[in-house]
Amino acid sequence: MKKIAVLTSGGDAPGMNAAVRSVVRTATALGLDVYGIDRGYAGLLADEINVLTNRDVGGIILRGGTILKTARCMEFFHEENQRKGAEILKKYEIDGLVVIGGDGSVQGAEILSKLGIPTVTIPGTIDNDMHGTDQTIGHDTAVNEVVNAVSRIRDTASAHDRAALIEVMGRFAGNIALDAGLACGAEYILVPEVPFSREKLAQSLLAQLEQGRTNSIIICAEGADDGRVLSDWLHERTNIDICTTVLGFVQRGGGPSAVDSILASELGAAAVKALLEGKTAALVGMHDGKVRILDYDAADQEEKIFRKDRYELAGILGATQEQDHI
């Protein structure tokens, strides 16, 4: 193996640049040439491929976003475009490809592997919802952003005797809401994995008001309910003033936390070594605090378990004592 390439795909996540840097510098140290593919699979199809050197990745470890840029590319799921992508890589004599991204990125990498391009994938998504790994690059940073925002929102909600509802990302997985809610002491955490009753939530808020609490924090994953709609409904039902904040892309932006920077650096180096050792068509993730290389099929079959124990703990420490009550 003499040449490898790296791309970032799907939604950006803090720490992607740290992973790119690790891939480039590890590969260079091991005598490989490295190419960067701009804009993910879309850039691959457009032949946007350039040499990457150690100097190119200098100073990017704490930068948010991705210097390679990213894109969602539905066109890559057409068979003719898949073959085109593989042929372009072969034209550059690329011996292996490192993909950094989420579930859709894994699907693209698996397709290229079946077309004769050795690939490995580094999990990068703020949702931490990928099969085959305990951690994904960007999740810790997103959780910290939510916690910091809630801390500020709680101050002003308390000053005005208002409840506060904060909608966070998580259309299909509530890990950001759960982890941030537990970390910041939210009274209520709403996630798509656990159905809740609006009426029971309203009654619980009224009970809290009777006990003298006027500034409850509700963290709502976008997949659990529409934050603005829920806030309006709760106000009409309870007459409690509720300030609503939809955090949106602030959760993705900014430099990575130390945890994500270290994670990305470790996984980037491990990905290069996996390619050299012939451990391809695999996800390079984490399991029980250690790097684990798991082939795509095995990773896909490994269930991503929602931390119900953590959710129940948040309920005990929050306003409901047991969140199943709402």
What pLDDT does 208 receive?
A: 87
What pLDDT does 15 receive?
A: 98
Model confidence at 320, pLDDT cuts 50, 70, 90, reads low
What pLDDT does 72 receive?
A: 86
* Per-residue tokens: 46: 């457009």
| Cβ atoms of residues 176 and 251 within 8 Å | yes
The length of the chain, given as a count of residues:
326
155 catalytic per annotation? no
| Cβ atoms of residues 83 and 108 within 8 Å | no
What pLDDT does 211 receive?
A: 84
* Per-residue tokens: 159: 């000053």
Instruction: Tell me the domain boundaries of the chain.
Output: 3-138+256-301, 140-252
Model confidence at 318, pLDDT cuts 50, 70, 90, reads confident
276 vs 269: CA distance, rounded Å = 11
Which tens digit of pLDDT belongs to each residue from 48-64? 999 999 999 999 999 99
Sheet containing strand 282-287, edge to edge, reads 49-52, 33-37, 3-8, 96-101, 119-123, 282-287, 290-295
Model confidence at 147, pLDDT cuts 50, 70, 90, reads very high
pLDDT at position 324 over 80:
no
Cα-only R_g, the chain: 22
**Domain pair 3-138+256-301 / 140-252, same fold:** yes
Which tens digit of pLDDT belongs to each residue from 114-138? 999 999 999 999 999 999 999 999 9
| Catalytic entry in 12, 38, 95, 127 | 127
- The CATH class that applies to domain 3-138+256-301 reads alpha beta
Model confidence at 325, pLDDT cuts 50, 70, 90, reads low
* Residues contacting residue 143 through CB under 8 Å, at least 6 positions apart: 176, 179, 180, 183
Neighbours of 278 (CB within 10 A): 9
Q: Tell me the mean pLDDT in the region 63-92.
A: 95
Planar angle of CA 298, 299, 301, nearest 5 degrees: 65
Which tens digit of pLDDT belongs to each residue from 204-236? 999 888 887 778 999 999 999 999 999 999 999
CATH label, 140-252, candidates 3.40.50.460, 3.60.15.10, 3.40.50.2000, 3.20.20.70: 3.40.50.460
Mean pLDDT lowest among 154-158, 312-316, 319-323: 319-323
248 vs 165: CA distance, rounded Å = 13
Which tens digit of pLDDT belongs to each residue from 182-201? 999 999 999 999 999 999 99
Strand-strand pairing, 163-168 and 217-221 = parallel
Q: Tell me the mean pLDDT in the region 1-25.
A: 97
**pLDDT mean across residues, the chain:** 94
Model confidence at 322, pLDDT cuts 50, 70, 90, reads very low
What pLDDT does 323 receive?
A: 46
% of the chain beyond a pLDDT of 70: 98
